Protein backbone atom coordinates (compact mmCIF):
# COMPACT_ATOMS: atom_id res chain seq x y z
CA UNK A 1 0.00 0.00 0.00
CA UNK A 2 1.05 3.58 -0.57
CA UNK A 3 1.75 5.89 2.38
CA UNK A 4 -1.65 7.60 2.11
CA UNK A 5 -3.35 4.19 2.53
CA UNK A 6 -0.97 2.92 5.22
CA UNK A 7 -1.73 5.80 7.58
CA UNK A 8 -5.44 4.99 7.34
CA UNK A 9 -5.37 1.19 7.64
CA UNK A 10 -2.18 -0.16 9.28
CA UNK A 11 -2.67 -1.50 12.80
CA UNK A 12 -6.48 -1.49 12.73
CA UNK A 13 -9.05 -4.29 12.63
CA UNK A 14 -7.28 -6.97 14.64
CA UNK A 15 -9.31 -10.18 14.50
CA UNK A 16 -9.18 -10.94 18.21
CA UNK A 17 -12.89 -11.67 18.43
CA UNK A 18 -14.84 -14.72 17.23
CA UNK A 19 -17.51 -12.72 15.40
CA UNK A 20 -17.49 -8.95 15.23
CA UNK A 21 -14.36 -6.94 14.37
CA UNK A 22 -14.33 -3.22 15.31
CA UNK A 23 -13.61 -0.94 12.38
CA UNK A 24 -11.22 1.16 14.49
CA UNK A 25 -8.91 0.08 17.30
CA UNK A 26 -10.72 0.13 20.68
CA UNK A 27 -9.29 1.83 23.77
CA UNK A 28 -8.27 -1.04 26.05
CA UNK A 29 -7.77 0.23 29.61
CA UNK A 30 -6.75 -3.12 31.11
CA UNK A 31 -3.45 -3.19 32.98
CA UNK A 32 -3.36 -6.92 33.78
CA UNK A 33 -4.05 -9.86 31.48
CA UNK A 34 -4.56 -13.55 32.24
CA UNK A 35 -4.92 -16.66 30.10
CA UNK A 36 -6.68 -20.03 30.17
CA UNK A 37 -3.68 -21.68 31.78
CA UNK A 38 -0.86 -20.57 34.07
CA UNK A 39 1.54 -22.35 31.74
CA UNK A 40 0.57 -20.01 28.89
CA UNK A 41 1.19 -16.97 31.07
CA UNK A 42 4.51 -18.45 32.20
CA UNK A 43 5.62 -18.92 28.60
CA UNK A 44 4.59 -15.33 27.76
CA UNK A 45 6.64 -14.01 30.68
CA UNK A 46 9.53 -16.13 29.43
CA UNK A 47 9.21 -14.67 25.90
CA UNK A 48 8.51 -18.13 24.49
CA UNK A 49 5.09 -16.99 23.30
CA UNK A 50 3.82 -13.62 22.14
CA UNK A 51 1.02 -12.36 24.32
CA UNK A 52 -0.18 -9.89 26.91
CA UNK A 53 0.60 -10.01 30.61
CA UNK A 54 1.01 -6.49 32.02
CA UNK A 55 0.47 -3.08 30.43
CA UNK A 56 3.97 -1.84 31.23
CA UNK A 57 5.17 -4.52 28.82
CA UNK A 58 2.49 -4.20 26.17
CA UNK A 59 -1.20 -3.43 25.69
CA UNK A 60 -3.61 -3.87 22.76
CA UNK A 61 -4.14 -0.19 21.91
CA UNK A 62 -0.42 0.57 22.12
CA UNK A 63 0.38 -2.45 19.98
CA UNK A 64 -1.91 -1.15 17.25
CA UNK A 65 -0.25 2.28 17.27
CA UNK A 66 3.21 0.71 17.31
CA UNK A 67 2.35 -1.47 14.32
CA UNK A 68 1.16 1.63 12.47
CA UNK A 69 4.31 3.67 13.19
CA UNK A 70 6.52 0.71 12.29
CA UNK A 71 4.80 0.42 8.92
CA UNK A 72 4.95 4.10 7.98
CA UNK A 73 8.62 4.44 9.04
CA UNK A 74 9.64 1.11 7.43
CA UNK A 75 11.13 -0.07 10.71
CA UNK A 76 11.40 -3.39 12.54
CA UNK A 77 9.44 -2.36 15.63
CA UNK A 78 8.19 0.61 17.64
CA UNK A 79 7.65 1.74 21.20
CA UNK A 80 4.98 4.29 22.17
CA UNK A 81 6.23 6.52 25.00
CA UNK A 82 4.69 9.09 27.32
CA UNK A 83 6.53 12.01 25.66
CA UNK A 84 9.00 12.77 22.91
CA UNK A 85 11.75 13.36 25.47
CA UNK A 86 11.02 10.01 27.16
CA UNK A 87 11.30 8.38 23.74
CA UNK A 88 14.61 10.13 23.10
CA UNK A 89 16.09 9.10 26.44
CA UNK A 90 15.11 5.45 25.93
CA UNK A 91 16.63 5.61 22.43
CA UNK A 92 19.94 6.98 23.73
CA UNK A 93 20.07 4.41 26.51
CA UNK A 94 19.37 1.57 24.09
CA UNK A 95 22.02 2.78 21.66
CA UNK A 96 24.67 3.19 24.37
CA UNK A 97 23.99 -0.10 26.18
CA UNK A 98 26.94 -1.97 24.69
CA UNK A 99 28.85 0.90 23.11
CA UNK A 100 31.29 3.59 24.29
CA UNK A 101 29.50 6.20 26.39
CA UNK A 102 30.30 8.95 23.92
CA UNK A 103 27.99 10.93 21.62
CA UNK A 104 28.67 13.05 18.56
CA UNK A 105 25.63 15.30 18.27
CA UNK A 106 24.56 18.08 15.98
CA UNK A 107 24.71 21.41 17.77
CA UNK A 108 21.57 22.52 15.91
CA UNK A 109 19.00 20.62 17.99
CA UNK A 110 16.14 21.24 20.40
CA UNK A 111 17.24 22.98 23.58
CA UNK A 112 15.73 20.31 25.86
CA UNK A 113 17.76 17.66 24.01
CA UNK A 114 20.94 19.60 24.79
CA UNK A 115 19.84 19.74 28.44
CA UNK A 116 19.25 15.98 28.45
CA UNK A 117 22.70 15.29 27.05
CA UNK A 118 24.44 17.75 29.37
CA UNK A 119 22.42 17.39 32.57
CA UNK A 120 20.95 13.87 32.50
CA UNK A 121 23.33 11.70 30.50
CA UNK A 122 26.59 13.51 31.33
CA UNK A 123 26.37 12.71 35.08
CA UNK A 124 26.01 9.06 34.05
CA UNK A 125 29.36 9.24 32.27
CA UNK A 126 28.19 10.07 28.74
CA UNK A 127 30.47 12.54 26.96
CA UNK A 128 28.99 14.62 24.13
CA UNK A 129 30.80 16.50 21.40
CA UNK A 130 28.70 18.99 19.42
CA UNK A 131 29.38 19.56 15.74
CA UNK A 132 27.90 21.18 12.65
CA UNK A 133 26.08 18.19 11.18
CA UNK A 134 25.87 19.92 7.79
CA UNK A 135 29.69 20.00 7.57
CA UNK A 136 30.44 16.42 6.54
CA UNK A 137 34.20 16.86 7.00
CA UNK A 138 33.62 18.11 10.55
CA UNK A 139 31.34 15.14 11.26
CA UNK A 140 34.00 12.73 10.01
CA UNK A 141 36.74 14.38 12.09
CA UNK A 142 34.61 14.28 15.24
CA UNK A 143 33.73 10.62 14.73
CA UNK A 144 37.39 9.73 14.16
CA UNK A 145 38.63 11.67 17.20
CA UNK A 146 35.77 11.01 19.65
CA UNK A 147 35.01 7.37 18.68
CA UNK A 148 31.34 7.71 19.70
CA UNK A 149 28.79 5.08 20.53
CA UNK A 150 26.05 7.28 19.08
CA UNK A 151 25.84 9.85 16.30
CA UNK A 152 22.77 12.04 16.66
CA UNK A 153 21.02 14.72 14.61
CA UNK A 154 17.59 16.07 13.72
CA UNK A 155 16.35 15.41 10.19
CA UNK A 156 15.32 19.08 10.00
CA UNK A 157 17.01 21.14 12.68
CA UNK A 158 15.14 23.20 15.27
CA UNK A 159 14.71 26.16 14.74
CA UNK A 160 16.82 27.15 11.69
CA UNK A 161 15.63 24.23 9.53
CA UNK A 162 19.01 22.93 8.36
CA UNK A 163 19.19 19.51 6.68
CA UNK A 164 22.31 17.35 6.91
CA UNK A 165 23.29 14.66 4.41
CA UNK A 166 21.66 12.01 6.55
CA UNK A 167 22.67 9.05 4.40
CA UNK A 168 26.32 10.08 4.33
CA UNK A 169 26.40 10.78 8.07
CA UNK A 170 24.90 7.33 8.57
CA UNK A 171 27.65 5.74 6.52
CA UNK A 172 30.30 7.47 8.66
CA UNK A 173 28.55 6.39 11.87
CA UNK A 174 28.31 2.75 10.80
CA UNK A 175 31.93 2.68 9.66
CA UNK A 176 32.89 3.63 13.22
CA UNK A 177 30.54 1.09 14.79
CA UNK A 178 28.26 3.79 16.19
CA UNK A 179 24.49 3.76 16.36
CA UNK A 180 22.94 6.44 14.16
CA UNK A 181 20.00 8.07 15.95
CA UNK A 182 17.70 10.61 14.25
CA UNK A 183 14.95 12.80 15.65
CA UNK A 184 12.61 13.16 12.69
CA UNK A 185 9.77 15.08 14.32
CA UNK A 186 9.88 18.03 11.91
CA UNK A 187 10.08 15.87 8.77
CA UNK A 188 7.48 13.16 9.49
CA UNK A 189 7.64 9.92 7.47
CA UNK A 190 6.05 11.81 4.55
CA UNK A 191 9.17 13.86 3.84
CA UNK A 192 11.79 11.18 4.45
CA UNK A 193 12.33 7.89 6.28
CA UNK A 194 15.67 7.99 8.13
CA UNK A 195 15.82 4.20 8.54
CA UNK A 196 16.04 3.97 4.76
CA UNK A 197 18.92 6.46 4.85
CA UNK A 198 21.02 4.54 7.37
CA UNK A 199 19.51 5.43 10.75
CA UNK A 200 19.28 2.64 13.33
CA UNK A 201 16.72 4.37 15.54
CA UNK A 202 14.23 7.12 14.71
CA UNK A 203 12.40 9.18 17.32
CA UNK A 204 9.28 11.35 16.98
CA UNK A 205 7.50 13.63 19.38
CA UNK A 206 4.07 12.19 18.64
CA UNK A 207 2.64 15.34 20.25
CA UNK A 208 3.47 17.14 17.03
CA UNK A 209 2.55 16.10 13.48
CA UNK A 210 1.67 12.47 14.17
CA UNK A 211 -1.18 13.19 16.60
CA UNK A 212 -1.56 16.61 15.07
CA UNK A 213 -4.32 18.25 17.10
CA UNK A 214 -2.66 19.61 20.22
CA UNK A 215 -4.40 17.12 22.52
CA UNK A 216 -1.81 14.36 23.01
CA UNK A 217 1.54 14.23 24.80
CA UNK A 218 3.52 11.31 23.44
CA UNK A 219 6.62 9.98 21.74
CA UNK A 220 7.57 7.18 19.36
CA UNK A 221 10.78 5.15 19.02
CA UNK A 222 11.11 3.18 15.77
CA UNK A 223 14.07 0.79 15.65
CA UNK A 224 15.84 -1.56 13.32
CA UNK A 225 16.10 -5.27 14.14
CA UNK A 226 19.41 -4.84 16.00
CA UNK A 227 18.04 -2.36 18.54
CA UNK A 228 14.35 -3.09 18.94
CA UNK A 229 14.58 -5.72 21.68
CA UNK A 230 16.93 -3.53 23.73
CA UNK A 231 14.43 -0.67 23.46
CA UNK A 232 11.60 -2.97 24.58
CA UNK A 233 13.65 -4.43 27.43
CA UNK A 234 14.45 -0.97 28.79
CA UNK A 235 10.81 0.00 28.46
CA UNK A 236 9.66 -3.07 30.39
CA UNK A 237 11.98 -2.07 33.24
CA UNK A 238 11.59 1.72 33.26
CA UNK A 239 7.99 1.94 32.07
CA UNK A 240 7.80 5.20 30.05
CA UNK A 241 4.82 3.86 28.11
CA UNK A 242 2.03 5.86 26.54
CA UNK A 243 -1.46 5.50 27.98
CA UNK A 244 -4.08 3.70 25.88
CA UNK A 245 -6.28 6.78 25.43
CA UNK A 246 -3.31 8.79 24.13
CA UNK A 247 -2.36 5.88 21.88
CA UNK A 248 -5.86 5.87 20.43
CA UNK A 249 -5.78 9.64 19.81
CA UNK A 250 -2.35 9.42 18.19
CA UNK A 251 -3.49 6.61 15.93
CA UNK A 252 -6.60 8.57 14.99
CA UNK A 253 -4.44 11.61 14.26
CA UNK A 254 -2.09 9.66 12.00
CA UNK A 255 -5.03 8.62 9.83
CA UNK A 256 -5.23 12.20 8.53
CA UNK A 257 -1.46 12.87 8.50
CA UNK A 258 -1.15 12.64 4.72
CA UNK A 259 -3.86 15.19 3.97
CA UNK A 260 -2.95 17.45 6.91
CA UNK A 261 0.75 17.57 6.17
CA UNK A 262 0.30 18.07 2.44
CA UNK A 263 -1.90 21.11 3.18
CA UNK A 264 0.52 22.40 5.82
CA UNK A 265 3.47 22.08 3.44
CA UNK A 266 1.59 23.98 0.71
CA UNK A 267 0.64 26.72 3.18
CA UNK A 268 4.22 26.98 4.44
CA UNK A 269 5.51 27.42 0.91
CA UNK A 270 3.12 30.31 0.26
CA UNK A 271 3.85 31.88 3.63
CA UNK A 272 7.63 31.71 3.17
CA UNK A 273 7.32 33.34 -0.24
CA UNK A 274 5.20 36.17 1.22
CA UNK A 275 7.51 36.70 4.20
CA UNK A 276 10.52 37.02 1.91
CA UNK A 277 9.00 40.21 0.45
CA UNK A 278 7.82 41.79 3.70
CA UNK A 279 9.67 45.00 4.65
CA UNK A 280 9.61 44.09 8.36
CA UNK A 281 11.32 40.73 7.76
CA UNK A 282 15.10 40.58 7.65
CA UNK A 283 15.55 36.92 6.72
CA UNK A 284 13.46 33.80 6.11
CA UNK A 285 14.57 30.23 6.88
CA UNK A 286 12.64 27.67 4.84
CA UNK A 287 13.77 24.34 3.31
CA UNK A 288 11.97 25.07 0.03
CA UNK A 289 14.00 28.22 -0.62
CA UNK A 290 16.19 27.61 -3.71
CA UNK A 291 18.93 29.56 -1.90
CA UNK A 292 18.73 27.45 1.26
CA UNK A 293 22.29 26.40 2.27
CA UNK A 294 21.27 22.72 2.07
CA UNK A 295 19.16 23.00 -1.10
CA UNK A 296 21.00 20.23 -2.95
CA UNK A 297 20.61 17.81 -0.03
CA UNK A 298 16.93 18.70 0.34
CA UNK A 299 16.26 18.06 -3.35
CA UNK A 300 18.02 14.70 -3.08
CA UNK A 301 16.46 13.42 0.15
CA UNK A 302 12.98 14.93 0.49
CA UNK A 303 9.82 13.61 -1.13
CA UNK A 304 9.01 15.49 -4.31
CA UNK A 305 7.42 18.93 -3.89
CA UNK A 306 7.27 18.72 -0.09
CA UNK A 307 9.51 20.88 2.10
CA UNK A 308 7.93 20.63 5.52
CA UNK A 309 5.54 22.95 7.30
CA UNK A 310 7.98 24.96 9.42
CA UNK A 311 9.10 28.50 8.59
CA UNK A 312 11.43 30.62 10.73
CA UNK A 313 12.06 34.29 10.15
CA UNK A 314 13.92 37.23 11.67
CA UNK A 315 12.07 40.47 12.36
CA UNK A 316 13.95 43.52 11.11
CA UNK A 317 15.72 45.28 13.99
CA UNK A 318 13.64 43.59 16.70
CA UNK A 319 14.89 42.98 20.23
CA UNK A 320 13.24 40.71 22.81
CA UNK A 321 10.71 43.35 23.86
CA UNK A 322 9.70 44.01 20.25
CA UNK A 323 9.22 40.30 19.57
CA UNK A 324 7.07 39.95 22.69
CA UNK A 325 4.86 42.80 21.47
CA UNK A 326 4.61 41.09 18.08
CA UNK A 327 3.44 37.88 19.78
CA UNK A 328 0.85 39.77 21.82
CA UNK A 329 -0.63 41.31 18.65
CA UNK A 330 -1.43 37.96 17.05
CA UNK A 331 -5.18 37.40 16.82
CA UNK A 332 -5.64 33.98 15.18
CA UNK A 333 -2.22 32.32 15.25
CA UNK A 334 -1.47 30.71 18.62
CA UNK A 335 1.72 31.97 20.34
CA UNK A 336 2.29 28.55 21.89
CA UNK A 337 5.13 26.20 22.77
CA UNK A 338 4.60 23.41 20.29
CA UNK A 339 4.27 22.64 16.59
CA UNK A 340 2.53 20.33 14.16
CA UNK A 341 -1.03 21.18 15.18
CA UNK A 342 -3.87 21.82 12.73
CA UNK A 343 -3.78 25.43 13.90
CA UNK A 344 -0.76 27.64 13.20
CA UNK A 345 1.58 28.36 16.09
CA UNK A 346 4.37 30.88 16.58
CA UNK A 347 7.19 30.12 19.00
CA UNK A 348 9.94 32.44 20.21
CA UNK A 349 13.04 30.22 20.60
CA UNK A 350 14.83 32.59 23.00
CA UNK A 351 11.81 32.41 25.32
CA UNK A 352 10.86 28.75 24.86
CA UNK A 353 12.62 25.98 22.90
CA UNK A 354 16.16 27.35 23.45
CA UNK A 355 15.60 29.37 26.62
CA UNK A 356 18.14 27.35 28.64
CA UNK A 357 20.82 27.39 25.96
CA UNK A 358 23.56 29.85 26.90
CA UNK A 359 23.23 33.17 25.00
CA UNK A 360 26.71 32.87 23.50
CA UNK A 361 25.92 29.37 22.21
CA UNK A 362 22.61 30.62 20.77
CA UNK A 363 24.51 33.36 18.98
CA UNK A 364 26.98 30.82 17.56
CA UNK A 365 24.05 28.71 16.35
CA UNK A 366 22.45 31.73 14.67
CA UNK A 367 19.49 31.85 17.04
CA UNK A 368 19.19 35.60 17.45
CA UNK A 369 16.81 37.63 19.59
CA UNK A 370 14.75 38.60 16.55
CA UNK A 371 14.08 35.00 15.40
CA UNK A 372 10.58 33.49 15.54
CA UNK A 373 9.42 30.08 14.35
CA UNK A 374 6.09 29.38 12.66
CA UNK A 375 4.42 25.99 12.57
CA UNK A 376 1.98 26.44 9.72
CA UNK A 377 -1.47 24.91 10.15
CA UNK A 378 -4.26 23.91 7.79
CA UNK A 379 -6.18 27.21 7.89
CA UNK A 380 -6.69 29.34 4.80
CA UNK A 381 -3.17 30.62 4.25
CA UNK A 382 -4.56 34.08 3.44
CA UNK A 383 -5.76 34.32 7.05
CA UNK A 384 -2.38 33.24 8.40
CA UNK A 385 -0.69 35.86 6.25
CA UNK A 386 -3.15 38.57 7.27
CA UNK A 387 -2.59 37.87 10.97
CA UNK A 388 1.19 37.95 10.64
CA UNK A 389 0.99 41.08 8.53
CA UNK A 390 -1.02 43.09 11.06
CA UNK A 391 1.22 41.86 13.91
CA UNK A 392 4.38 42.81 12.02
CA UNK A 393 2.98 46.24 11.21
CA UNK A 394 2.04 46.97 14.80
CA UNK A 395 -1.61 45.97 14.81
- Mean per-residue pLDDT, 303-311: 97
Query: Among 209, 233, 254, which residue terminates a domain?
Result: 254
Domain closes at, from 198, 230, 254: 254
Shared domain for 193 and 325, answered yes or no, is: no
Confidence of residue 235 (pLDDT cuts 50, 70, 90): very high
Best CA proximity match to 6, nearest among 239, 248, 321, 256: 256
What pLDDT score was predicted for residue 395? 60
pLDDT at 126 exceeding the cut of 80: yes
- Cis omega (within 30 of 0) for bond into 395: no
Res. 11: pLDDT tops 90: no
Using DSSP's 3-state secondary structure scheme, residue 136 falls into: helix
C-alpha distances in angstroms, 357 versus 49, 114, 155? 47, 8, 20
Q: Does 109 have pLDDT greater than 90? A: yes
Q: How many CB atoms lie within 10 A of CB 33?
A: 17
Query: pLDDT tens digits for 334-360?
Result: 999 899 999 999 999 999 888 888 888
**Looking at residue 93, which CATH number applies to its domain?**
3.40.640.10
Q: How many domains does the chain have?
A: 2
- The answer, yes or no, to whether residue 206 has pLDDT greater than 70, is yes
pLDDT tier, 15 (very low <50, low <70, confident <90, very high otherwise): low
Q: pTM (2 decimals)? A: 0.94
Question: Which residues carry out catalysis?
Answer: 56, 110, 183, 208
Tens of pLDDT, residues 268-304: 999 999 999 999 999 999 999 999 999 999 999 999 9
| Residue 4, pLDDT score | 85
Residue range of the domain that includes 107: 3-254
Q: Are residues 58 and 202 both part of a single domain?
A: yes
Same domain (yes/no): 225, 194: yes
Same domain, yes or no: 344 and 275: yes
- Position 254 confidence tier, pLDDT thresholds 50, 70, 90: very high
pLDDT > 80? residue 21: no
Q: What percent of the chain has pLDDT over 90?
A: 85
Amino acid sequence: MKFESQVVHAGDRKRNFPAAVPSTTPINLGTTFFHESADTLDRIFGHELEGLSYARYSSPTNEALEELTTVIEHGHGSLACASGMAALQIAFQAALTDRPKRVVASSAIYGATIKMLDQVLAPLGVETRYIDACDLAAVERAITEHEPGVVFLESISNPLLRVAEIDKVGTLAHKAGACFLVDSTFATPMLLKPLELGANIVVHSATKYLAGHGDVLGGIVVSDADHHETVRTLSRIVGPVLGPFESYLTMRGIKTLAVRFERQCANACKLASWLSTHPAVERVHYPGDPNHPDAATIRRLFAANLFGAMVSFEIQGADRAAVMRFLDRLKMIVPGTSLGDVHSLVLYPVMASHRDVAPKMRERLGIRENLVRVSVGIEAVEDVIADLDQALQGG
